[in-house]
Amino acid sequence: MHLAELAEHISYLKPDDVALVEKAYQFSKSAHAGQFRKSGDPYISHPVAVAKLLAKWHLDAQALMAALLHDVVEDTPATKQQVSEQFGKAVAELVDGVSKLDRIEFQTEAHAQAEKFRKMLLAMARDVRVILIKLADRLHNMRTLDSMAAEKRKRIAKETLEIYAPIANRLGLNSVYQELDDLSFRYLFPTRYRVLAKAVKAARGNRRALVEKVLEAIQGKLQDAGVEAGVTGREKHLNSIYKKMQGKSLTFSEVYDIYGFRVIVKDVPACYLALGVLHGLYKPIPGKFKDYIAIPKGNGYQSLHTTLFGPYGTPLEVQIRTQDMHKIAEAGVASHWLYKAGDELANDAQQKTHQWLQSLLEIQSESGDAIEFLEHIKIDLFPDEVYVFTPKGKIMALPRGATAVDLAYNVHTDIGNRCVAVKINDELAPLRMELRNGDRVEIITAPQAHPNPAWLNYVVTGKARAHIRHYLKTMHSEEAAALGEQLLNQALRALKTEPSAIDEARWTELLRENNVKSKAEILADIGLGKRLNLVVARRLLASGESVLTEKKPLGSITIRGTEGLAVQLAQCCRPIPGDPILGVINKGKGLIIHTHDCPAIAQFRADPDKWVDVEWDPETKKLFDVNIKLVVANQRGVLAKVAAGIADENANIENVAMEEEDGSAYASMIFTLQVEDRDHLARVMRGLRQIPAVVRIARVKR
């Protein structure tokens, strides 16, 4: 019975391929013998249904065989090796890509889910047929979800809505996306779904006359203009209506455009001609026109979209496209198999998909773990897109809310890592500014620049986020290792041993004892406070405990202020060169430098193991932030006088805040200045005391 059903759908294959598909069916039927689905149907009905869905897209024999076999390795005694021997390595790889993770113990369910998606997405990046099989598998499972327990239904529906439906949309599989979206809505919010379905059904009758009137008017007008076109009215799917009600806080009666109209013409010029005819028939609503023919969506989708004032003021959404565009809109990336006759549109859709899949592999290489990878991908799966131009006129598609930093990483990783400024429409703009449709964007780079941690607050693409995080992790690790080496050398000298006396054999032994791969990892752990320098030093020394009696005081670590993320100047007291300082090892953050009298470290001063002696390098070539507070006479022009006094002493003003009490004769000003050292600050403060309006001045340590 099942084989006969399948045979009807695979007549497009060569006879030899049909025989292979039938062989795969027999193998799967035998492997799943005695297994039943929750609905009570024989298990083989599921792989056959998946294969039939793929046959609609005219996928090749390998994909259909993999669809029939996709559960045998996981759910039956059959092995990947057996599949490979009988049906070839390519089919076995497809089956492996589609099958879920083996029963591995994970820390959390979220981790297991994330790992499953990572495996699936990476398999898809190698061969897009993996995701087409997976989507067909999910679609059939969603169609037969009624037999599952309520809790499991909700979990599967949520997963479908968050991951599978957006992937189908991203790949341009419009009909699959809409069905998955609607089925997810139905099982996640069953009551809302029933109420809305009932309302749409009632409205269908009330609005039938309106729809027929609009169809007749459009067809008649196009005919009069000599435009050959097929015109259809379509009902929007329920989740789309629900999202519109939710997003705009509308009741169902206020959502007029539950019907859309589609006009299909023979070629691109006819699309624009039809658009002109429709704008002559009904007035267009300003700002509601989108030209996806000139600038296709990221998944290759092309159409003209316009919204018109219809009869009785009802808004009408209309899509105008060619027959080829319609094929791409419905089948997306699968159209490559369905329409192979050198179709340029299908090739374009394939190319865009390939670019996106390649970016998945890039994000994977930069992401630390599965959950982080999935977080990046989710961002890219909901791209309400913005289209911008490079200086050479190339169009770049980015998610809405994207900034110049997102664009820089989209062009190339090195451009992202080195970007320092941006020109938007020939004017300098902040890197954090959101890009808008049609912006002309020029990224300005500098050879010595590097990513700023603050960028993570406003980038929106997974690619940019992954590259920035990867760079910061690498830099943090390198800087921590450099600090760790200084701390370890300090401890070794305190134990009367020169660092050069520690040979590689001792290091190898220490790495083996701690099950660590490299010396850099141990040093980074010391720098980040995860290991104590004295403990590691003692373990490195062959004499072990005997050195304890010979211990001498630890020397000081020299601070330049340019060490990077591993050495940080405390924000509470803002130390500057010339201040007596102490270093506190903060686990996971590295060495934090405080002034010796900072209240924040009072608790550590009695415990020498918690702090490190540090001293300023005499040659610091950097400006340091410091806070000062002035009490000034509340008179006109006082801020300008103070700012001029600061500038006279060659100090920068980083920030200024005013505290003014109503009616008071005095006001407080708090400045964040950039100075070279304590002497420089003293000169600035002396200069400010000469201004008659300055009543009191002091350095602020919070």
Query: For the residues 352-376, what does the mean pLDDT come to?
Result: 60
Query: For the residues 495-516, what does the mean pLDDT come to?
Result: 80
Q: 241 and 198, same structural domain?
A: yes
pLDDT at 543: 43
φ and ψ of 344, to 5 deg: -65, -40
3-state secondary structure of 195: helix
Inside any domain, residue 184? no
pLDDT beyond 50 at 101:
no
Inside any domain, residue 171? no
- For 232-270, b/e burial (b = at least 16 CB within 10 A) is ebeebbbbbbbebbeeeeeebeebbebbbbbbbbeebeb
Q: 212 and 339, same structural domain?
A: yes
Inside any domain, residue 415? yes
Per-residue model confidence as pLDDT tens digits over 258-304: 678 999 999 999 999 999 999 999 989 888 888 888 888 766 788 99
Inside any domain, residue 387? yes
Inside any domain, residue 465? no
pLDDT beyond 90 at 324:
no
Cα 242 → chain centroid: 26
Q: 590 and 641, same structural domain?
A: no
| Reported confidence tier of residue 548, pLDDT bands at 50, 70, 90 | very low
Helix (H) or strand (E) holding 66: helix 61-69
3-state secondary structure of 669: strand
Q: 341 and 213, same structural domain?
A: yes
Per-residue model confidence as pLDDT tens digits over 629-674: 999 988 888 888 999 999 888 898 888 888 766 667 888 899 999 9
Query: For the residues 415-432, what does the mean pLDDT come to?
Result: 88
Q: 582 and 527, same structural domain?
A: yes
pLDDT at 325: 86
Query: What mean pLDDT is reported for the chain?
Result: 79
Q: 431 and 326, same structural domain?
A: no
Residue located via tokens 């705009």: 248
Q: 477 and 499, same structural domain?
A: yes
Catalytic residue positions, numbered? 74-75
CA dihedral 671, 676, 681, 686 (to 10 degrees): -110
Range of the domain at 675: 624-700
Q: 338 and 197, same structural domain?
A: yes
**Residue 225 CB coordination number (10 Å):** 15
Inside any domain, residue 176? no
Inside any domain, residue 565? yes
Contact (Cβ atoms closer than 8 angstroms) between residue 676 and residue 624: yes
> What is the count of structural domains for the chain?
5
Strands 315-322 and 259-265: parallel
Q: 99 and 206, same structural domain?
A: no
CATH number of the domain encompassing residue 73: 1.10.3210.10
Q: 648 and 570, same structural domain?
A: no
φ and ψ of 62, to 5 deg: -60, -45
Task: Enumerate the β-bridge partners of residue 666.
Answer: 633
| Reported confidence tier of residue 321, pLDDT bands at 50, 70, 90 | very high
pLDDT at 253: 67
pLDDT at 103: 37
Inside any domain, residue 579? yes
Percent of the chain's residues with pLDDT above 90: 12
As a whole number of angstroms, the distance between CA 243 and CA 205 comes to 23
Per-residue model confidence as pLDDT tens digits over 615-632: 888 877 788 889 999 999
Question: Domain boundary at 598, 615, 632, which?
Answer: 615
The residue among 349 and 510 whose pLDDT is bigger is: 510
As a whole number of angstroms, the distance between CA 165 and CA 156 comes to 12
pLDDT beyond 60 at 128:
yes
DSSP secondary structure letters along 331-355: HGGGHHHH--SS-HHHHHHHHHHHH
Per-residue model confidence as pLDDT tens digits over 200-245: 777 766 667 777 888 889 999 999 888 889 998 877 778 777 777 7
Question: Domain boundary at 414, 436, 460, which?
Answer: 460
Q: 323 and 417, same structural domain?
A: no
Question: Domain boundary at 86, 115, 143, which?
Answer: 143
| Reported confidence tier of residue 341, pLDDT bands at 50, 70, 90 | very low
pLDDT beyond 70 at 2:
no
The residue among 86 and 532 whose pLDDT is bigger is: 86
**Residue 428 CB coordination number (10 Å):** 10
Query: For the residues 439-450, what does the mean pLDDT come to?
Result: 86
CATH number of the domain encompassing residue 249: 3.30.460.10
C-alpha atoms less than 13 angstroms from C-alpha of 535 in its C-beta half-sphere: 10
In the chain, the largest separation of any two C-alpha atoms, in whole Å, equals 105
Cα 133 → chain centroid: 25
DSSP secondary structure letters along 354-414: HHHHHHHHHHHHH-SSHHHHHHHHHHHTS--EEEEE-TT--EEEEETT-BHHHHHHHH-HH
| Reported confidence tier of residue 105, pLDDT bands at 50, 70, 90 | very low
**End-to-end CA separation in angstroms for the chain:** 80
| Reported confidence tier of residue 386, pLDDT bands at 50, 70, 90 | confident
CA angle 568, 573, 578 (to 5 degrees): 80
As a whole number of angstroms, the distance between CA 670 and CA 278 comes to 63
Q: 511 and 417, same structural domain?
A: no
Spatial CB neighbours of 144, under 8 Å, sequence gap ≥ 6: 37, 39, 46
pLDDT at 405: 93
pLDDT at 406: 92
pLDDT at 192: 87
As a whole number of angstroms, the distance between CA 247 and CA 256 comes to 15
CA dihedral 444, 449, 450, 454 (to 10 degrees): -70
As a whole number of angstroms, the distance between CA 288 and CA 282 comes to 13
Per-residue model confidence as pLDDT tens digits over 140-190: 989 888 888 888 888 889 888 887 888 888 777 888 888 998 899 899 888
The residue among 475 and 54 whose pLDDT is bigger is: 54
